[in-house]
Amino acid sequence: MNRLSSIVEQIPKSGIRDFFEIVQSMENVISLGIGEPDFVTPWHIREAAIYALERGKTAYTSNLGLPRLRKAIAHYVSEKLGVSYDPRNEILVTVGVSEGIDLALRAVLNPGDEVLYHEPCYVSYAPTILLAGGLPKPIPTRLEDDFILFSSAIEKAITPRTRVLLLNFPTNPTGAILPRSELLKIAELCIAHDLLVITDEIYSELTYDQVEHHSIAALEGMKQRVILLHGVSKAFAMTGWRLGFACGPDDLIGGMMKIHQYAILCAPNMLQEAAIEALESGAPSLLKMRNQYAQRRDFVAKRCQELGLPFSFPRGAFYIFPSIAHLGFSSKEFAMQLLHKKKVALIPGTAFGESGEGFVRCSYATSMEKLHDAFSRIEEFLHERKS
Amino acid sequence: MDKLLELLQKKKRSSPAQLAAEVGLPEEEVLQKIGQWEKDGTILGYHAVLHHDYLDPNLVTAVIEVRVTPEREGGFDRIASRIARFEEVGSVYLMSGGYDLLVVVEGHSLREVAAFVATKLSTIDAVQSCATRFRLNTYKENGIFYVEDEVFERLSVAP
């Protein structure tokens, strides 16, 4: 007898997982396959968690999260994204954005409802939609369009069963952002077709070249139909803390809260205290890290250009997503051969959906020294292949 | 602060080429800027930050709080610079509060430092009193940790 549910059986293992096992078994690998900052959490934030422990902050908090943290989130979101939420009933503190996505989907989907999202995309979207009983409907985005999601493409994909549009800009793995003009058209479309929007804006603090991040939640008429997901992981180098938040109209947050209170109860108390410190006083640390990412991005973009790898200049997050299709490899073959011959780990684009075929994801959240070294090795690899 | 200056102050030895790559300027411009700073005194000098306990476990560092009588002409400046000239003296600061000058002195033994205080420093006319305190241990020196116990580990592949 099959002991697993049919949905779980149906979900493939993450492509990243297999690759991880191989990289793990090798020595002296330079990994550009890591989707998290290479900075340890700034000390003042860590110290805030230690202080919270010293004061005995070890009990449950309110299901929604500490009132002070919710206030800090309301203030932060209003400053950064230009939309105000009531900390009493429109903000929920979650265990990372990953929990937020799961809650949001489970709260709004009925079996068979379709969810539109752009691809290549973060690895969890399709499986999380399936687990929530929905049907994943990816919309491919293309290098030629700088991986922008066009409202026209969404419109074509809409069916009577479409309930939700899931957005992630800046995008992991492409580093794409969405121009405000396109965002406005998408908002109109969502209103016309009565779609809910779940927007994962975890990389919103990491945009470069003075490009401002715009949230769809801040556009006119959208707050009522948007669940905005964000957290401290990427901006403040706090990935392992697992602390995120969801903002939205009170009925949707209320629905998510029902699941959260039974499944999770609350995010860890002392970590919520540290998140207050991050949101209220983390700006200078963030700025320093962002400046470093920007320098590294310029470097990796220059190197990709020198090596003749077509790419879209990344405007956000900390990834570049060059094409390797012209070399006659599949993404996986390229990543495997590069790993075995030159000990550089990149993630095959197919880990981020079928439309990632022909690409590799290269994270530049790594020291300049390692980036230099890694790209020299990639250059050697390409050179040896030619001769 | 200028990005290049910040790197020069904080980073380990870097070649002009490495510095140029990090700040995104051509190498000649980096060299030219450094030359200018050296000339106008923005950059005073370069030195390695040594781990004294490995180098000389007997090294003694004294922090001396000195009260002095300021002079009508020049206030504390002349007397401070007189003290600073002794080669035993590493740093001299004019302070607010209960004393005037903070003098950092290094020596190879307690006796050597004591002799300096007794025979050189406290015998200067303008010096009213010295309170000498000795370093017991060092945790951070010029922005660099003596013992780096922090290991930051990431998985080799992550989504």
Supply the Cα-derived Rg of chain A in whole angstroms.
21
Q: Does any CB of chain B come closer than 8 Å to the CB of residue A34?
A: yes
* pLDDT tens figures, B20-50: 887 888 999 999 999 999 999 999 988 888 8
Cβ <8 Å between B22 and A19? no
**Has residue B6 got a pLDDT over 90?**
no
Residue type, A268: P
Cβ <8 Å between A40 and B152? yes
Whether A332 contacts A350, CB under 8 Å? yes
d(CA A195, CA A302): 40
State the residue for tokens 């990090």: B22
Using DSSP's 3-state secondary structure scheme, residue B32 falls into: helix
SS (H, E, C) chain A: CCCCCHHHHHCCCCHHHHHHHHHHCCCCCEECCECCCCCCCCHHHHHHHHHHHHCCCCCCCCCCCCHHHHHHHHHHHHHHHCCCCCCCCCEEEECHHHHHHHHHHHHHCCCCCEEEEEECCCCCHHHHHHHCCCEEEEEECCHHHCCCCCHHHHHHHCCCCEEEEEECCCCCCCCCCCCHHHHHHHHHHHHHCCCEEEEECCCCCCECCCCCCCCHHHCCCCHHHEEEEEECCCCCCCHHHCCEEEECCHHHHHHHHHHHHHHCCCCCHHHHHHHHHHHHHCHHHHHHHHHHHHHHHHHHHHHHHHCCCCCCCCCECCEECCECHHHCCCHHHHHHHHHHHHCEECEEHHHHCHHHCCEEEEECCCCHHHHHHHHHHHHHHHHHHHC
Q: What is the pLDDT of residue B156?
A: 87
Whether A246 contacts A92, CB under 8 Å? yes
What is the CATH code of the structural domain delimited by A6-41+284-382? 3.90.1150.10
Q: Does any CB of chain B come closer than 8 Å to the CB of residue A23?
A: yes
User: Exposure pattern of B105-137 as b/e (b: 16+ CB <10 Å)?
Assistant: bbbeeeeebeebbeeebeeeebbeebebeeeee
d(CA B8, CA B46): 9
CA distance A123 to chain B (A): 7
Cβ-based contacts of A365 with chain B (< 8 Å): none
Cβ <8 Å between B154 and A19? no
Residues of chain B with CATH 3.30.70.920: 52-137
Cβ-based contacts of A351 with chain B (< 8 Å): 159
CA distance B7 to chain A (A): 12
Q: Which residue of A has its CA nearest to B24?
A: A295
Domain residue ranges in chain A: 6-41+284-382, 43-281
The candidate with the shortest Cα–Cα distance to A147, out of A353, A346, A295, is A353
d(CA A247, CA A71): 12
Domain A43-281 has CATH 1.10.10.60: no
Cβ-based contacts of A29 with chain B (< 8 Å): 156
Residues 169-198 of A with CB under 8 A from B: 172
User: Exposure pattern of A109-139 as b/e (b: 16+ CB <10 Å)?
Assistant: beeebbbbbbbbbbbbbbbbbbbbebbbbbb
Cβ <8 Å between A122 and B159? yes
Number of A–B residue contacts, CB under 8 Å: 49
Residues of B with CB under 8 A from a CB of A: 21-24, 150, 152, 154-159
CA distance B15 to chain A (A): 13
Segments of chain A with pLDDT less than 70: none
Cβ <8 Å between A34 and B156? yes
Which ipTM was obtained for this model? 0.77
d(CA A158, CA A30): 42
Q: Does any CB of chain B come closer than 8 Å to the CB of residue A50?
A: no
Cβ <8 Å between B158 and A35? yes
Q: Which residue of A has its CA nearest to B21?
A: A299
CA distance B153 to chain A (A): 9
**Has residue B11 got a pLDDT over 80?**
no
CA distance B5 to chain A (A): 15
* pLDDT tens figures, B85-112: 999 999 999 999 999 999 999 999 999 9
Look at domain B52-137 and name its CATH class.
alpha beta
Q: Does any CB of chain B come closer than 8 Å to the CB of residue A367?
A: no
- Indicate the residue of B23, B24, B156 with minimum beta-carbon distance to A23: B156
Q: Does any CB of chain B come closer than 8 Å to the CB of residue A158?
A: no
> What confidence category does residue B118 fall into, taking pLDDT thresholds of 50, 70 and 90?
very high
Q: Which of B22, B154, B157 to mutate to test the interface with A (most CBs of A within 10 A)?
A: B157
Residue A28 structure tokens:
């002296």
Cβ-based contacts of A20 with chain B (< 8 Å): 155-158
Cβ <8 Å between A24 and B22? no
Q: Which residue of B has its CA nearest to A20?
A: B157
CA distance B154 to chain A (A): 8
**Has residue B12 got a pLDDT over 70?**
no
